[in-house]
Amino acid sequence: MKGYIQVYTGNGKGKTTAAFGLALRAVGAGMKVFIGQFVKGKSYNENIAIARHLKNITVKQYGLGCFIVNTPTDDDIKAAGKGLDEMRKIIQKGKYDLVIMDEVNIALYYKLIDIKDLLEIIKNKPEHVELVLTGRYVPQELIDKADLVTEMKEIKHYYRKGIEARKGIEY
C-alpha cells in the first residue's frame, strides 16, 4: 500500500486529536504507528492510554515542556534537532506504517528545525510509510508536498470565555 503525506493545520482545536484518531484506526487494521511529538514534553492522557493499552503505537516526545508563551531556548532547539534526527532514522527504516510528526509545523515556525531537513525526510521516506504532519502555521512548501491538507478553523472556543484546559478533553 502506498503511503501519503497528510497535514493537519489551522488555528482550531483538533489537529493532534485527528492524528491520534488516525493512529487508532491504523492499529485496528494491524499497522504499526510511531508518534513523535515536537515541542511537547509533559504527560498527556492520550499518551498514558497508549502506553497502557496499545502496544502497536510508540510515542516519544522531543520537547522540554511548553515554551510557546516564552522564547525557545538553545535546549529547546537541541531537543527538536535530536527529535528530527531520530525521526529521520525511524522513517527511513520503514518499520512503522504510519508516522506522525506532531507539532512539527510549530517547530518549523519557531525555527527549532530547518524546513530543508524536513523536506529531505519527506523526499526519502519509504513508499509504504504514511506520514502525518501536525501543527499551526504550516509553510507553503509543506502544503505543496502534501497529498492531503486539512485546516482546523476556530469558529468559537470556550477558552475565549476563560475556560481552562480540562483533563480528558484538552489534555
Terminal Cα distance for the chain, rounded: 33
Per-residue pLDDT reduced to its tens digit, 2-45: 999 999 999 999 999 999 999 999 999 999 999 999 988 777 88
Cα 169 from Cα 171, distance rounded (Å): 6
Per-residue pLDDT reduced to its tens digit, 127-139: 999 999 999 999 9
Topology of the domain comprising 5-161: Rossmann fold (3.40.50)
Sorting pLDDT into bands at 50, 70 and 90, what band is 171? confident
Count Cβ neighbours within 10 Å for each residue of 84-120 and write b for 16 or more, e otherwise.
beebbebbeeeebbbbbbbbbbbbbebebbeeeebee
Cα 137 from Cα 107, distance rounded (Å): 10
The whole-model pTM stands at 0.92
Q: Half-sphere exposure of residue 63, counting CA atoms within 13 Å on the CB side?
A: 22
φ/ψ of 36, rounded to 5, equals -105, 125
3-state secondary structure of 139: coil
Residue 150's DSSP bridge partners are 8
Cα 94 from Cα 96, distance rounded (Å): 5
